[in-house]
Structure formats: C-alpha cells, structure tokens
Structure 1
Amino acid sequence: MAVKIILILLLFSVHLGNAQKVLDVECQSVVGVVEENTTIPCTFKLPPEYNDVIINEATIKRWTPPLFYINYNDNVVKGDPRIILPSRTDPSLLFTNTTVSDEGEYEYELQTSRGVIKSTTFSLRVTAEFSPPVINSWPEGIKADVAPVLYCNTSGGYPAGSIHWFNNNGVPVTEKATLEITERDDKLLTMSSKLTLNVNDLIWEAFLCFVLNSSFRDEGLTSFYEAEETGFSVVGKISFTLQPTDYLELECQSAVGVIGENTTIPCSFSSFQGDEDIIIYSLWIMSNFWIGTYQRGSQ
C-alpha cells in the first residue's frame, strides 16, 4: 500500500510542475494611425517541443480594472470591444479604429495549455495627419497703409507639429509668427499660426505657410497673395529632415534640355559644411525658390 501512495504523489507532482511552468512572450512597440486598425506583433518564446500552444486566457492591463480580458474555456469576454485576439495560437493583438486615447504603455498576460506566460509590456504611439493648411487675413483685403495679420490654420493631426512662414522670395519670416495649439474633443489637435506683418512687408505681396509634423516631415503648404500676377508657382514636388530652425541654401545651374530626352539640373547645398550626407525627404520646387525638409547623416 505504501508503494502505491508514493507513486501517485510523484505523478501528481510532475503534472503540477508542468502546469505551472512559466513561459515567455515578446511584443513589439508600434505606431498606429488614427481611425485605422493597428496590429501589435507578438511571438511566443518557447522550447522547440512546445509547438502546440493554445491560449486559454488573455489579460491586457493599462489601468485597474483590466482594459481587456478573455477566457476561452468559460466563454467570457470583458473590456474594450475594439481589442481583438485574432487567434488562440498567435498572441498578436489587433486594435481596431485606433484613437489618440489608445496611446500609452500596456501590460499583457497570458495563460496557455502549456503553462503561464510571463507578463510582457508594449507601447502604442499614435499619429494622425493634419489637414491641408488654409490662410486667412485680417483685414480681408490687403490695404497699402494697414499692416495685415495672416492666420494659417490646420486641424485633425497628432501629435503637435509646427508651422513655418516664407515670403515670395523664399526668406523665412516665422520669427514674426506665434503658434497656438488646441485640443479637440477627440484629442486631435488644431494648430493656428498668426503672422503679424508691418507695412514694409507688403512689398513681398505673397506669403507661404508650410506645415511640418512632429517628425519634421511636411504635411502640406499653401500660399496667400494679394496681386494676381504675384505669388507662388509650384513646379513640382520631390519626395525630403529638418532641424527646426536650420535653413540651407540650394544653388542650381541653368541647363539646356532636349525634347524627348531626360534633362539633369545640377544642384548643391551652398551653405552646408561638414562630412555628413544630406537626406532629402520632401522638396517643393517653386518658380523662384525651393522649400522642404532634410536630415543630416544616415537614417
């Protein structure tokens, strides 16, 4: 009888040890786009013989109580319905209809057919593009003896970016502007830049508003000019990083092109000194100057 009891206890101990074995899962931090679905890639870190893992429970924590919980054995689902665990064999997650409120740090816990998964963390950053900028003036009609105020407005973006101003000779005048950033009910942002001019500035007649996102990539530009024969003629755009107050001068040589053939316009940065490469992200080519964003050094 004693031999039988010892054997049963040994078998029970082995079974309990396997059930409580702690395994690992690893998730990548990602950047999601507002109103789009965002996948959080996750993978099991398991021994080769564990090729049949089935997820029984999953918990996602951000605050208390848990943000999301699912128990497949008891058919229980609680929390944010936008969070989906698409497969019981793949720990990757799906955030549907991503919002700004989803941005933050998360803790992820799993229980599986092979044991408890050690909790892991991941972060979700959120972005949204700003709308094309619009310029308004006060007063509405530019008068020769009145210093006007120009407003450049853009909305619906996240996180906050910046707005830059240039006159129609490509000279930056952002130092004369003030930027106001406000949060909408949906936590997306509105940016409004107020450019205060003096009467002498009217000789330029045209001004350009250039919107950059938080990564200093351009999200649009627009122009304001009073005289019809004056303004900005956009020749084309090339897809270019910018130190926020660092402006370069671009010199281009005149060239003769042949119809039906490709024509190269040799250009160089005349005011740049250093051994680093210049990586152009976006470049707006105007009739009499260029504007864009760049980065020094490799990515």
Structure 2
Amino acid sequence: MNMASMCILLIILFSIENANTDEFISLDCRAEQLGQYGRQSLLECVVKTLQKDTLIRIVSWKKADRNNTDALLVFNEEAIIKQKPGFLFAQPSWDVRNMNVSLLINNTAVEDKGNYTCDVITDRGTVFKRTHLKVTAKYSNPTITLNADKTLTCNSDGGYPKGQLCWFGEGIAELTSNVTTEVNQTAGGLFQLSSRLVVGKESSVSKYTCSVFNASGGLEEKTQYPVMDAPKTEEQEQRKVLDPATRIVAPVVVIGSLIVGLLLALLIYRKRSQKTRRPSTAPLMGVHLRVPTSDVEDGDDT
C-alpha cells in the first residue's frame, strides 16, 4: 500500500470516529398501532444499532396532543423517574442494554387514542420517533322491543368509534323510510345507538332485522324480530283458506286409495282360486256318472 492510499484510509477512519453517531442508530416504531378498549395496548418501538455494546441513557414517552411536560414514562440513568399509572415498559425486566423500549398501556380508554412520541438517548446518539394509537370498542348485540304505538326500537351501545344501526326486512333491502336514529356519547367516550322503525299496516314483512355496523362499515352484530300479527299478502291469505281443505282431503284420498287397492287384491285372489279348483272337479263328476257295462248285462240275464 503506497503513502497516498494510507493517508486516504486514515482520513476515512478519522471521519468515522468523529462522525455524528446518530447515523448508526435508529428507532423502529410502527406508524399506526391498534388498541382495544378495556384491554392492554402495545406501542412497539425498538432501537436499532450496529454497535452491540450500546447502552441506553434516557427514554421518554409522551402524548403528542398533550403538553410536552406531561410525560407518561421517563427513564433516566438506570432509574424510572416518572411513571403515570397504567403506563409501563412492555418488558418488566427491561434494562439499559435492552433495545426494546415499547410502551404498554393497561386498561386502554378512548382518551388514550392519538399520537405518541418516543425519545431515546444512548451512548451512541439520540433518536426520536412518533406513532399513532387507534382505539376501538365492539358494539353490543342489538336489542329490539315492540312499542305500544306499533314501532320497533333497536338499541346497541359500548362501541367506538361511532357506528350505525340499519333495518332490514325479510327478503327486502335496507329500510330507510320511517326510520329515526339517535346517537349519544357516554362520559367514557363510548357511543350509544338507538333507532326506531315505524311498521306500516300495509306491510307484509313478518320478520325484521336490526344490524349494527362499525365505523369501517363492517357488520358486528345483528338481531331478528318476528312480527306475529303482520298483515298477510293475498297469496298468503289464499294459502290460509286452502290449508284446512287440504288437511281434510289428503287423508281421505290416501284412505280411499288403500281401500281400492285392497278390493282389487281380493278380487284377483278369488279369480285365481276359482281357476285352481275347476280342473280337479270335472274328472270327479265323470266317475260318478259312468255306469259299468258288466253290471247292466248281468241284470238282463236275471
């Protein structure tokens, strides 16, 4: 290796040694993470570095839509100096050599949704990343009640974000007329949905379905309600009139068919019996009518 090459190599090594170490460390966080209401939610963030002996000095988790001084979890020089109830490291045995700095949220609430920031300072440099938590809650199975004014009321609650109740008739697309919907939000942020359907007297629908859809348009639950006194169509009324006659005529036809079959079987049996007896009686009658010749001749001689 000549002198020029040696100088270039030394310059490169010197540049690496004195370069900003942030280029050799990064923080890998998912851009959006999903949490379920009332359950644990995980905000995954892992420090990536080429240096295996990297040590973490400071970790700070904050809610981006809050005051920057309102930190949720702060680790500083081998000790947690601030921790809001319900927020902790995802790995209980976490230490300064553990590059997994994920945040665990216990008993997730609606107010926990939003943007979070994670700041990490190591002995190799500083990294920063933002992630978003989306919170959802499943709606309860709809309940349907029939009111005195012949309207149906459907209720479903405990869901988030805001969903929608829809009515369907038996064999009919979504019912949109004569429908009123009410939406309320509880103190905890969950939604209560209520929908009323006016059942028309001219309607021939005998069963209604109330379905609850989430904010993404996906079906979560549905309940059916049979209307016992629903008006009948002309075809249904004709069936109702014909049914009693059908119930009477059908057994009569069956019984009549059985009787005719038995009579035919008996007649065939008698005919076969008569044909069987005729050949045996004719010879027998001939024996009794025949007079022996010898007996006649003997009589004449007397």
Which one has the bigger helix percentage? Answer: 2
| 1:50-69 matched pairs, under 5 angstroms | 50-62=51-63, 63-64=66-67, 65-69=69-73
Q: Distance in 1 between matches of 2:194 and 2:115?
A: 30
Per-residue deviation at 1:228? 8.6
Question: Is the 1:66–1:79 Cα contact (8 Å) retained in structure 2?
Answer: no
Question: Is the 2:186–2:192 Cα contact (8 Å) retained in structure 1?
Answer: yes
The superposition leaves residues 236-283 of structure 1 with CA deviations (integer Å, 9 ceiling, x where unpaired) of xxxxxxxxxxxxxxxxxxxxxxxxxxxxxxxxxxxxxxxxxxxxxxxx
Q: Distance in 1 between matches of 2:41 and 2:167?
A: 35
1:129 and 2:138 aligned: yes
Look up the SS of the partner of 1:204 in the other structure: coil
Gapped runs of 5+ residues in structure 1? 1-13, 140-145, 231-299
Question: Is the 1:132–1:220 Cα contact (8 Å) retained in structure 2?
Answer: yes
RMSD: 2.7
CA 38–199 in structure 1, closer or farther in 2 if over 3 Å, else same: same
CA 208–72 in structure 1, closer or farther in 2 if over 3 Å, else same: same
Q: Pick one of 29, 33, 37 that aligns with 1:34.
A: 37
The superposition leaves residues 202-226 of structure 1 with CA deviations (integer Å, 9 ceiling, x where unpaired) of x313211011112222211112223
The superposition leaves residues 19-63 of structure 1 with CA deviations (integer Å, 9 ceiling, x where unpaired) of x743421211211111111122222232x2x12333322112221
1:109 and 2:112 aligned: no
Q: Distance in 2 between matches of 1:56 and 1:167?
A: 63
Larger mean Cα displacement after TM superposition, 173-182 or 154-163 = 173-182
The superposition leaves residues 144-196 of structure 1 with CA deviations (integer Å, 9 ceiling, x where unpaired) of xx6x2211100111111111111123332134322222111211111111222
Per-residue deviation at 1:121? 0.5
Per-residue deviation at 1:229? 10
Question: Is the 2:62–2:118 Cα contact (8 Å) retained in structure 1?
Answer: yes
Q: Distance in 2 between matches of 1:170 and 1:51?
A: 65
1:120 and 2:129 aligned: yes
Aligned sequence identity (%): 25
Question: Is the 1:167–1:208 Cα contact (8 Å) retained in structure 2?
Answer: yes
Q: Pick one of 195, 198, 201 that aligns with 1:196.
A: 198
State TM-score, norm by structure 2: 0.61
Look up the SS of the partner of 2:212 in the other structure: strand
CA 228–113 in structure 1, closer or farther in 2 if over 3 Å, else same: farther
Name the structure 2 match of 1:293. Answer: none
Name the structure 1 match of 2:256. Answer: none
Question: Is the 1:129–1:219 Cα contact (8 Å) retained in structure 2?
Answer: yes
Q: Distance in 2 between matches of 1:176 and 1:43?
A: 54
Question: Is the 1:174–1:195 Cα contact (8 Å) retained in structure 2?
Answer: no
Q: Distance in 2 between matches of 1:93 and 1:17?
A: 33
Name the structure 2 match of 1:253. Answer: none
Per-residue deviation at 1:199? 2.0
Counterpart AA for 2:155: N
CA 70–38 in structure 1, closer or farther in 2 if over 3 Å, else same: same
| 1:263-278 matched pairs, under 5 angstroms | none
Counterpart AA for 1:101: E
Question: Is the 1:31–1:126 Cα contact (8 Å) retained in structure 2?
Answer: yes
State TM-score, norm by structure 1: 0.62
CA 171–60 in structure 1, closer or farther in 2 if over 3 Å, else same: same
1:80 and 2:84 aligned: yes
The superposition leaves residues 112-152 of structure 1 with CA deviations (integer Å, 9 ceiling, x where unpaired) of 232322x210000011110110011221xxxxxx6x22111
Q: Pick one of 81, 100, 113 that aligns with 2:110.
A: 100
Name the structure 2 match of 1:223. Answer: 224
Q: For the pair shown, which has the larger CA radius of gyration, 1 or 2?
A: 2
Look up the SS of the partner of 1:101 in the other structure: helix
Q: How many residues align?
A: 205
Larger mean Cα displacement after TM superposition, 72-81 or 186-195 = 72-81
Q: Distance in 2 between matches of 1:128 and 1:227?
A: 35
Look up the SS of the partner of 1:152 in the other structure: strand
Instruction: Point out 4+ residue stretches in structure 1 off by more than 6 angstroms.
Output: none
Counterpart AA for 2:181: L
Q: Distance in 2 between matches of 1:175 and 1:43?
A: 53
